[in-house]
Amino acid sequence: MCSIMGYCGSNADFNIFKKGFDRTITRGPDESRIIDTGNGFLGFHRLAIMGLSPSGMQPFELDGSFVVCNGEIYGFEQFKEQLSEKYTFQSESDCEILLPLYREYKTDMFAMLDAEFACIIYDGETGEYIAARDPVGIRPLYYGFDEAGTLLLASEPKNLVGLAEAIMPFPPGHYYKNGEFICYCDIASSDTICHDDLETVYGQIHDKLVAGVKKRLVADAKVGFLLSGGLDSSLVCAIAARESASPIKTFAIGMSEDAIDLTYAKQVDDYIGSDHTEIYMTPDDVLSSLETVIRILGTFDITTIRASMGMYLLCKAIHEQTDIRVLLTGEISDELFGYKYTDFAPSAEAFQAESQKRIRELHMYDVLRADRCISVNSLEARVPFGDLDFVKYVMALDPSIKQNVYGKGKYLLRKAFETGDYLPEEILWREKAAFSDAVGHSMVDYLKEYAEQHYTEEAFEAGCKKYTHARPFTKESLLYREIFEKYYPVQGEMISGFWMPNRDWEGCDVNDPSARVLANYGDSGK
């Protein structure tokens, strides 16, 4: 997944920089380098995925300008071909094209990229730093300022703890230049509404998702797949299985006694012929990993932490037991096509507004979870549902056809793959299950019970009063917040608040983020 960091000023202290940067060495264990730009430092921890030779090591340099990038740039070969008459390329790395692109197009280049990326550029001609992040925020980037007002940028907030007073996420779809954040792509917003007929919609969703999976199979390192047995991850795996010459490697995790997902994942495995591995976790695994997971995540959000327990332990096992370097996942489908709670949206317009909100906040919740759980185990995440062409199309669709008026959530996505024998009927039309519950309802119950035993009622009330931003409202949320503050003191505003259903909607005024508490959960947990 790589790690990048920049200390963007002449007053930068090397030892302080290195100490902060080394906190994310597991993101890029293959090789590390820090360079002095003459006006600060740029650092890169490498996880070699594309262009595995030493020539692919960053920072890349071009006539006194430098770049570090954590990313995958799809279609970089076309850019390389276009630029090859003017520039000599030294590696097979996709990120080597960034400095030539910057020289040719300056900041206009960011809107040209089909990529999951976060990058920092040092312009050797002007002596300034430019940073940018992909429109979905799949690749992480944070910023802050030291006491002297010098800008710091890093892949994770843990890099900046103790260096910057306030640490904040770099906004997705923006670049930073001359002290300003400038939006180059608001992917949640569409200038026009697409009124394609349903058959055309099904075909477009099918073709664009297939294309999104195919481009993410390209890697010089070995690729694996997280398979929950839910619709989203199962579709990614089914598409990949068709595009691969040999059986794909899939991985699933669950509690030994009540893991819903393991049963369905095995069914998908049998159908697509994957090389499948099951990992079991125990209550002790969950509770003993809790503090580690919160430290890794840098969040106090309830649902993010719950869902991370299984994902972290699964990725840890993959790292320890295999030579896989890249994992494809099924995140972002829910934000596009709807959760269980969005069945309660009072109108199509309300559904669309909620989808836009969730897309814009993805980098603080599901995408954050996937990035940290995977990258801390020296793996790279790729997210086909986050493909820019796919997201732009789905977000532009008339919300009246995306809203659940069919009696089945994610209807458009299911219909798009109804033909072609991608998945068994019962998987394609399986009800949405909350991920944190589907690894085993008992896991969440163990966490809640553990938190209950941790506080008296008096201690709980007193503990909650310590916080003004995102005040805890259950013993579980207080426990998570106090562990978070241990590692990220006074940085709670990095997270906008708790991920919860829209409480303004009838049927959604609940005090737990799990879909299990909703009246329409029905057969989802079976």
Residues 259 and 381 in one domain: yes
Residues 366 and 431 in one domain: yes
Residues 173 and 282 in one domain: no
Residues 217 and 161 in one domain: no
Residues 179 and 202 in one domain: no
Residue of 2, 185, 315, 373 with catalytic role: 2
> What does the block give as tokens for 259?
């893991």
What values do phi and psi take at 163, rounded to 5?
Answer: -105, -40
Confirm whether 141 is domain-assigned: yes
Confirm whether 510 is domain-assigned: yes
pLDDT block averages, 10 residues each, the chain of length 526: 94 93 95 96 91 86 97 92 92 93 97 97 97 97 96 98 96 97 96 96 98 93 94 97 96 84 93 97 94 98 95 97 96 95 96 97 96 96 96 98 94 97 95 61 88 95 96 97 97 96 93 84 62
Q: What is the pLDDT, as a whole number, of residue 437? A: 59
In the chain, how many domains are there?
2
Confirm whether 192 is domain-assigned: no
Confirm whether 372 is domain-assigned: yes
Residue 2 catalytic?
Answer: yes
Q: How many whole angstroms separate alpha carbon 488 and alpha carbon 470?
A: 15
Domain termination residue (choose one: 128, 154, 183): 183
Residues 265 and 404 in one domain: yes
Residues 170 and 236 in one domain: no
Confirm whether 276 is domain-assigned: yes
Q: How many whole angstroms separate alpha carbon 421 and alpha carbon 437?
A: 28
Q: What is the pLDDT, as a whole number, of residue 259? A: 75
Residues 467 and 497 in one domain: yes
Confirm whether 176 is domain-assigned: yes
CATH number, domain containing residue 324: 3.40.50.620
Domain termination residue (choose one: 149, 183, 217): 183
Q: How many whole angstroms separate alpha carbon 415 and alpha carbon 200?
A: 11
Q: What is the pLDDT, as a whole number, of residue 81? A: 93
Confirm whether 265 is domain-assigned: yes
Q: What is the pLDDT, as a whole number, of residue 260? A: 81
Domain interval for residue 226? 198-525
Other Cβ atoms less than 10 A from the Cβ of 71: the count is 23
Other Cβ atoms less than 10 A from the Cβ of 134: the count is 26
Residues 276 and 318 in one domain: yes
Domain termination residue (choose one: 183, 217, 232): 183
CATH number, domain containing residue 73: 3.60.20.10
Confirm whether 138 is domain-assigned: yes
Residue 357 corresponds to which amino acid? K
Residues 318 and 387 in one domain: yes
Residues 130 and 254 in one domain: no
Q: What is the pLDDT, as a whole number, of residue 440? A: 56
Residues 145 and 293 in one domain: no
